[in-house]
Chain A
Amino acid sequence: MSSSVSVKKPLAINCEQVVKVLSGFIRTEVLKTGFGKVVLGLSGGIDSSLSAALAVRALGPANVIGVMMPYETSNPDSLADAELMTRSLGIAHRVLEITAMVKPFFEQNPEIDSVRRGNIMARMRMIVLYDVSAAEKALVLGTSNKTEYLLGYSTLWGDSACALNPLGDLYKTQVRALASYLELPERIIKKKPSADLWIGQTDEDELGFTYDQADAVLELLVDKRLSVHQAVESGFPADLVNHIMKVVRQTQYKRQMPLIAKLSNRTINRDFRFPRDWGL
């Protein structure tokens, strides 16, 4: 038995044990639904690559389907890196280009800006994944991490849509540690995170701070239960902490099911409460 119960390094994790929990989670939660497979979008980035690697550990390579969904402006490296991942994991993959699906929408609405275009692409990818899900009887595996969830850095009902998510309680820093532990290709771990919704986009440019900064502040505010004032006192710039707290609050709706107006004595999820695994 360990003699110490203190967490020595912030955000440090025991990768071996975390992998056991996450692969057990995927295996149990998928199999109990009666499904045997998962499908996930592969962007060539670290989050989807790690999710795929965990799914392979949980279900075996024959039961994991990777789908690449490039748009005409997507960085060709994204597709190449996703293919590298599917080869190294030995999983089936499909390339379903979304250009012809979203272009008619863009052409009818020439005024739309890059954020709206990005949302439409993310939601089109969701449509494609859920169609593969129905065709292949495979559950959609989510790939968002805790940093993205807390910052609301996703498209609602787009890339955030999934049946289950193994990474949602891991910060980006921890995702990187786990990816190294599972020996994902170095270039995938090292490259700059990007939603690749427009040319040159990177997460950190768009957010205005780095993942390392975000994770350190979020750990204090969320996991360590520090107030904004205490987080600033522990050495982080007030502007940064205030901004992150504001973003977390403003994006709370993205982490919830829609509000239902209460009328009866048995309102869904308020006083009609059943687990998601009801009857499974």
Chain B
Amino acid sequence: MLVRLAQIAPRLGNTEYNFEHCRKMVGEAAGDGVDLIVFPELALTGYLLKDMVAQVGLSTWDGKIQELSRLSGNISILLGLVEQGEDHFFYNSAFYFEAGALAERRRKGHLPTYGMFDEGRYFTQGNRVEAFSSRFGRVGVMICEDAWHPINPYILCQDGAQILFIISNSPVRGMTETGDFLSVQNWQLICRSYALLYSCFVIYVNRVGCEDGVSFSGCSQVVGPHGDVLESLPFLEEAVATVKIDLNELPKARIHSPVLRDEKFLSSIHELKRIREKTFGH
């Protein structure tokens, strides 16, 4: 399985340009024999949209979505966008296209609304955490902040995910004396931890570019199920990388370190129920 990571710099609010850019990259990737191309969170719109959210949302029947469906005949596509839901609320969503159709839709559940982030003001929370079956096996998708809540990869891996996709718009912040910015270090730590703890592949695709003085770090990466970094993309620069994902590594990693197998799933549910009753009553 060949996966291409598209570390792009979307133009803020310019859905036409971003769509054309993505469409071109999908065509090139298909020509190169790539099986799946992954774009960052909000790849069609950029991040600091504020009131533009209401102007750039696409519904599932939008012509651009139809076109991406059509393009997915030979190559699967995972991409972030502003979705205008059937309920006419707006979602920070990831669409997965496969075999000529919009196959799956995931809505960001954790909308950061603190410090420099203001997503909860504009977007509606997604409320489902569910892995899905793709032609590459069972996979899970998290959108940026979703991956900061460890219950999400836990649920996705319990639900059978063997590849965790994290698409993000992570800004550069937190200076250190040496080495990377703290935000970059934290993402590396998160990706490696989940890959190692759940013996799964983690494919993290972050954007680059600058909006209103905020730079996005890039540093996308692929981590294998032994916790080994298979590919790292550069800091701040637009880049693509094509990575061969060998699912045969999964049984090796899982016999070596069967942590996921030994998760006490029922016990966890029992304890969570106990805590629920303690906190919220019967």
Contact = CB atoms under 8 A, between A and B. Distances in A.
Contacts of B151: none
B185 A13 contact: no
Given A14-B177, A278-B13, A25 B210 contact: yes
Contacts of A20: 235-236
B178 interface: yes
Interface stretch (A200-208, A256-264, A268-276): A268-276
A39 to B, nearest CB: 19
Nearest to A266: B51
Given A14-B178, A17-B235, A29-B213, A272 B51 contact: yes
Interface string A240-274: 00000000000000000000000000000000111
Interface residues of B, dominant DSSP: loop
Interface string B173-206: 0011111111001101100100000000000000
B210 A1 contact: no
B185 A277 contact: no
A17 B177 CA distance: 10
Interface string A17-28: 110110011001
Among B11, B175, B235, the one with the most A-chain Cβ atoms within 10 Å of its Cβ is B175
A248 to B, nearest CB: 19
Contact of B212 (A12, A13, A17, A276): A276
B130 interface: no
Interface string A172-196: 0010000000000000000000000
B48 interface: yes
A42 to B, nearest CB: 23
A265 B211 CA distance: 27
Given A28-B9, A277-B48, A279-B13, 6 more contacts: A12-B177, A20-B236, A25-B215, A29-B210, A273-B50, A277-B12
8 contacts: A1-B192, A2-B176, A2-B185, A13-B175, A14-B180, A20-B236, A28-B210, A279-B13
